[in-house]
Amino acid sequence: MPPLLAVGADALAFILLPWLVWRALGRSIPLAVLPILVGLGLAASGLPFAELGVPSSYGDKIGLIGVLVLAFTAGLEMRQTPDASETVHALPQQRLSVSRLATSAAAALALPFIVGTLAARYHFLDLPGWSAPRGNGWLGALAVGLCVAVSALPVLIGLVRELRPHQRPLGQIALGVAVIDDAVLWIGLALLLLAANGGNGLDGWDGTEIIAVGVLALLAVLGASATRRKQLPSQAAIWLVGAAYLAAGAWASSKLGLHALLGAYFAGAVMAPNWAARLPVERIGLIALFGLAPLFFGHSGLRIDGDALTWTSLAASLALLTLSVLSKLAAVLAYPPSSTLSRREALAVGALLQCKGLMEIVAATILRDQGLLSEHAYAALVTLAVLSTTITGPLFRLCLRRRQVEVLSPGYSRSSQ
């Protein structure tokens, strides 16, 4: 099939069809997960879609650009605190302590990570088909645990924007925790990949790798320097700088043997926040999320081995979902991000944080491509991400069903719970 027709077939399957299904279902399922479902369905059907040129090579490139932009905007969002939202001003400032928020984020990440890692090491990796080329033993267990612990910042931002006004303060607290967890996720992912490639050490490095490290350091230094400058360049110049940051970060991380997505996220995270504030970050992220990245995620689902989509894989996904949700809720309930939250409000924050979204799929895709996850494990984790994201809204509402969430003004003192 001609390349342009193949790209058109790609767009119909993974962009237009998910959007139509989303509208037909009354927007009850997050649009972000539908391309994955389409890809999974096509993979399970066994139909010869390759004859139609799907997935197309140009579609692969467009999808990769989309997910790189998505990771870049996630990094930009990480530097823009949740207080930037107008809804957060309904929260009294004394409710949020940076140290308590960080400690709660550590607990919300650590408990699911430990539970997921131990469960994978002593049970899931023994299942048929779960043994990965380079992911046997603790490396594979850590890869699964990392995916179980993920909180999806980009999708969570969208979900919080869809909450009712009186619910958004809780969503903003969840975003504060997710920002920290998201940064730790990418750091942990980079460290895991470095550990997997550690056999080569630094002996195999040549000038290219040294230049790549220098590029990443230069991006950080330039970002810190630009943050201190009061005078801002024109918006057109900031667009060019943003594109250069994205390209340089993606190139540098790929040259270091890591995934280009890690560099894209790093570039967004170190870009000067006062510069990034002049970019339409939300709009860029939405365009990437709904117009470009669906090709990446749809192709990821399509490339899953159909033999891996078994009842055993579904059972493993449900078991991982149960572990993920319960451990996340338990962590937030044991150490909530604010001491003034009621138990139901703390559970509601935990319900938002258990959302895996696209970030788990991105992480799982990277780990599979690096040989740390098998096809069966990857299929189960993608299914986990879809299920987790789908239940986030209903679970959040269930936690608050019997209690009206209060929107407090700075001078208001909470009545006794």
For 168-204, the pLDDT digits (tens) are: 788 878 877 887 787 788 788 888 888 877 655 445 5
Would you state the structure tokens that stand for residue 299, as one six-digit string?
Answer: 């192709």
CA distance 371 to 349: 34
* DSSP structure class, residue 232: -
pLDDT band per the 50, 70, 90 thresholds, residue 91: very low
Residue 286: CB atoms within 10 A of its CB come to 16
pLDDT at residue 109 tops 70? yes
The CATH number assigned to the domain with range 3-399 reads 1.20.1530.20
Burial class (CB in 10 A: 0-12, 13-18, 19+), 273: middle
- Residue type for position 155: V
154 against 20, higher pLDDT: 20
The pLDDT, as a whole number, for residue 93 is 39
Taking the mean position of all CA atoms in its chain, how far away is CA 125? 24
Predicted local distance difference test score (pLDDT) of residue 326: 95
Q: What is the pLDDT of residue 306?
A: 65
Residues 116-122 have a mean pLDDT of 93
pLDDT of 67 strictly over 50? yes
Percentage, residues of the chain above pLDDT 70: 82
pLDDT of residue 321: 93
pLDDT of residue 115: 94
How many other CB atoms are found less than 10 A from the CB of residue 36? Answer: 25
Cis peptide before 165 (omega within 30 of 0): no
State residue 332's pLDDT score. 92
353 vs 357: CA distance, rounded Å: 10
172: left (phi over 0), alpha (psi -120 to 50) or beta: alpha
Q: How many CA atoms lie within 13 A of 134 on its CB side?
A: 15
Q: Whole-angstrom Cα distance, residue 258 to residue 281? A: 25
The backbone torsions φ and ψ at residue 206, rounded to the nearest 5 degrees and listed phi first, read: -120, -165
The predicted pLDDT at position 78 comes to: 65
Q: Where are the alpha helices (DSSP H) in 231-310?
A: 235-255, 260-270, 273-276, 281-287, 293-302
Report d(CA 249, CA 224) in Å as an integer: 16
Q: Per mean pLDDT, which range of 76-85, 111-120, 245-254, 394-403 is the poorest?
A: 76-85
By C-alpha distance, which of 285, 271, 70 is closest to 161? Answer: 285
State the pLDDT at residue 82: 45
DSSP conformational letter for 53: T
pLDDT score at 294: 84
**pLDDT grade, residue 324 (50/70/90)?**
very high
Q: How much is the mean pLDDT over the chain?
A: 80
H helices present in 123-206, as ranges: 138-149, 153-161, 168-196
User: What is the mean predicted confidence (pLDDT) over 244-270?
Assistant: 85
Could you tell me the pLDDT band of residue 307, with boundaries at 50, 70 and 90? Answer: low
Predicted local distance difference test score (pLDDT) of residue 331? 93
**Per-residue pLDDT at 90:** 40
Write the CA distances from 203 to 142, 182, 196, 320, integer angstroms. 26, 31, 15, 39
Please state the domain extents for the chain: 3-399
